[in-house]
Copies of this chain bind each other. A is one copy, B any other.
Amino acid sequence: MSKGYDFTITALGTPRIQSPISLSKEMDDYLANYVSDDDRVIYDIITRRDNNQLSFPTEELLERAGPRELIYFSPSKVNAAVVTCGGLCPGLNDVIRAIVMCLSYRYNVKRITGIQYGYRGFLPQFHIPTIELTPARVEDIHKKGGTILGSSRGFGDCTAEIVDSIEQMNINMLFVIGGDGSQRGAQDIADEAAGRSYKLAVVGIPKTIDNDLSFVQKSFGFDTAVSEAVSAVAGAHVEAKDAINGVGIVKVMGRESGYIATHTALAINDVNYVLIPEVPFDLEGPNGLLTHLEKRLEARKHAVILVAEGAGQKLLEQQAGADASGNKKLGDVGTFLKSKVSEHFKAKDIEVNVKYIDPSYIIRSAPANPADSLYCARLGTNAVHAAMAGKSKILISLVNNHFVHVPIDMAVSKRNCVDPESSLWRDVIDGTGQPALMKN
């Protein structure tokens, strides 16, 4: 954090007073709880016993989020825009709602524009209209899944055209709800605007159902995703248990990180094998998955396999190619496993009944559960506080249970993965009873 990142200097220069927001005197007195620009949250908080009186154990201090006493923007001059990018994730509407409500009610901002279908909504060639966002429009949207703005995957570099469009609309505050690709795009937009000396505050709310962004304790929607995945696993377990040598296979999201799979397994306790991208495994051989599965079926007559979509990619002849967002295109490990399991037992003339469930779209489109609703509400509110204070090129994040500002380039610099030596993975191994490593 320390080095190279300077939180308080934003693209807009040092914040200065324009006009204090119109809080009633009474609230002003009672709620004199502004957050200081000097407040920091320690990121790495594991230390050693004898360190307490010695020296500071970390280099990383994150700027604390929250309302500032002095704000950069005069509310009557604000012209805000909100955009949602990438795949669906529970809580998108909650974040949109919170941004609109906080801008409207706390800061009395009147002009808020919804950009439809991701960044594409900025590009004239698509002829996509914008939406006016008002409290009345967003009042109940948090009870629905998806995003009222629509979304789309990325495409080639159009930063200049997007900033053209932003200039034409006189937007001076942009909220980007999206994944790491979209946040990199947000950074490019901010840089392009700065290059043009166009004043634009760009604040991101990181969205990744896989929970794989670093400096983000838990991404919004993740909790709901796990709840929904638990339901699918419950179904697979029933199907497996009630058939002769029933094998339930459930595929969940997780291109490079196995968080949904690990959390789901720990939450429901009905999974026997968790396969994640971080832990390679073999199918064949004395310590391969199929061998272990065969032993288990002999002993217990049924099994449930929970596989993250990015697991076992080396086992698939990896077709080249990438999706529109530039993400690596993954082979479908779910159907691959399904056929490998079937073939294995067919070759040995052992009856198995494989039931395969892919609940991905059901998970992504679910409305946020109450924990995520609350979390999204607070992310959106803090994003507004940050933008009003003139912060830019930052993400709103929760770290060690405190809301913080994280510079975009810092957050997207590396991925958050399940550490195979962490207590999380250890608890999964203990809970499932699966071998620590299924490699020969």
Question: Among B30, B144, B235, which residue has its beta carbon within 8 angstroms of that of A365?
Answer: B235
Q: Which A residues, 366 to 411, have Cβ-Cβ distances below 8 Å to chain B?
A: 366, 369-371, 373-374, 377-378, 381, 400-403
Whether B238 pairs with A88 at a CB distance below 8 angstroms is yes
Q: Which A residues, 11 to 65, have Cβ-Cβ distances below 8 Å to chain B?
A: 26-27, 30-33, 35, 37-42, 45-59, 61, 64
Q: Which residues of B contact A75 (CB under 8 A)?
A: none
Distance, CA A430 to CA B27, complexed state (A) = 10
Question: Among B239, B401, B403, B427, which residue has its beta carbon within 8 angstroms of that of A146?
Answer: B239
Distance, CA A217 to CA B217, complexed state (A) = 14
- Quote the shortest CB–CB distance from A112 to chain B (angstroms): 16
A236 within 8 A of B: yes
Distance, CA A117 to CA B242, complexed state (A) = 8
Q: Which residues of B contact A146 (CB under 8 A)?
A: 238-239, 241-242
Distance, CA A248 to CA B55, complexed state (A) = 54
Distance, CA A37 to CA B48, complexed state (A) = 9
Known interface pairs A52-B56, A362-B235; A39-B46 also in contact (CB < 8 Å): yes
Known interface pairs A369-B369, A378-B266, A426-B67; A436-B30 also in contact (CB < 8 Å): yes
Q: Which residues of A contact B (CB under 8 A)?
A: 1-2, 26-27, 30-33, 35, 37-42, 45-59, 61, 64, 66-67, 88, 97, 101-102, 105-106, 117, 120, 142-147, 150-152, 217, 223, 226-227, 230-232, 234-239, 241-244, 248, 263-264, 266-269, 355-359, 361-362, 364-366, 369-371, 373-374, 377-378, 381, 400-403, 420-423, 426-427, 429-431, 433, 435-437
9 contacts between A and B (CB under 8 A): A1-B52, A31-B429, A33-B423, A33-B426, A38-B50, A46-B64, A67-B426, A266-B373, A401-B401
